[in-house]
Amino acid sequence: MTKKLGFDAAIEKLSRRTANKTGRRGFVGKLGGFLVGATLLPLLPVDRRGRLKEAHAADASNLDAARAGWQPQDQDPQACDYWRHCSIDGNVCDCCGGTLTSCPPGTSLSPSSWVASCYNPGDGQTYLIAYRDCCGKQTCGQCACLNTEGELPVYRPEFSNDIVWCFGAENDDMTYHCTISPVVGKAS
Partner 1 sequence: MTLFNLKSKLRQQGVVGGLAAAAMMTAAYPAFADIPVEKMTLEVAPPSDSKRVYVTDPGHFQMTSQVFTIDGNNNKILGMSDAGKLPHVLLGDKGNFMAIANTWYDRIARGNRDDYIEVFDTQTHDVTADIDIPEGRFLTAVFTHMATLSTDDKHMMFQQFSPVPAVGLVDLEQNQFVKMMDTPDCYHLFPAPEQNVYMHCRDGSMLRINYDDEGNSTQTHSKVFHPEDSYLVNEPYYSDVTNRLVWPDYEGRIYQAKLTADGAEFMEPIEVFTEEEKADRWRPGGWQLVTVHNDTNELYLLADQRGEFTHKTPSRYVFVIDADTGERLRKMELNHEIDSIAVTQDDKPYLFALSANEQTLYTFDAKTGKKIGETAGLGRYPHILTLPQDSE
Contact mark string toward partner 1, 38..77, x via CB under 8 A: x-xx-xx-x--x---xxx--x-x--x--xxxxx-------
Is 70 a known active-site residue?
no
Q: Give the bridge partners for 52, in sequence order.
A: none
| Residue 123 interacts with partner 1 (CB under 8 A): yes or no | no
In whole angstroms, the minimum distance from the beta carbon of 34 to partner 1 comes to 7
Q: Report the C-alpha dihedral over residues 33, 35, 36, 42, rounded to 10 degrees.
A: 110
Residue from 80, 82, 111, 118 binding partner 1 (CB under 8 A): 111
Alpha carbon of 79 to those of 17, 41, 58, 118, 173: distances in Å? 38, 30, 9, 15, 28
In whole angstroms, the minimum distance from the beta carbon of 169 to partner 1 comes to 10
Identity of the residue, 85 or 140, whose beta carbon is nearer to partner 1 in the bound complex:
140
Which residues inside 165-184 make contact with partner 1, applying CB under 8 A? Answer: 166-168, 171-177, 180, 182-184
Is 114 a known active-site residue?
yes
| Residue 79 interacts with partner 1 (CB under 8 A): yes or no | no
Q: Please, what's the largest Cα pairwise distance for the chain?
A: 52
| Residue 137 interacts with partner 1 (CB under 8 A): yes or no | yes
| Residue 124 interacts with partner 1 (CB under 8 A): yes or no | no
- Tell me, what DSSP letter sits at residue 35? S
Identity of the residue, 50 or 75, whose beta carbon is nearer to partner 1 in the bound complex:
50
Distance CA 185, CA 14 (A): 24
In whole angstroms, the minimum distance from the beta carbon of 59 to partner 1 comes to 11
Distance CA 161, CA 146 (A): 9
Distance CA 106, CA 94 (A): 15
Distance CA 45, CA 56 (A): 20
| Residue 157 interacts with partner 1 (CB under 8 A): yes or no | yes
**Which one of the listed residues 47, 114, 123, 162 is annotated catalytic?**
114
Is the separation of the CB atoms in 182 and 130 below 8 Å?
yes
Residue from 82, 83, 114, 119 binding partner 1 (CB under 8 A): 114
Is the separation of the CB atoms in 131 and 165 below 8 Å?
yes
Catalytic annotation, residues: 114, 133
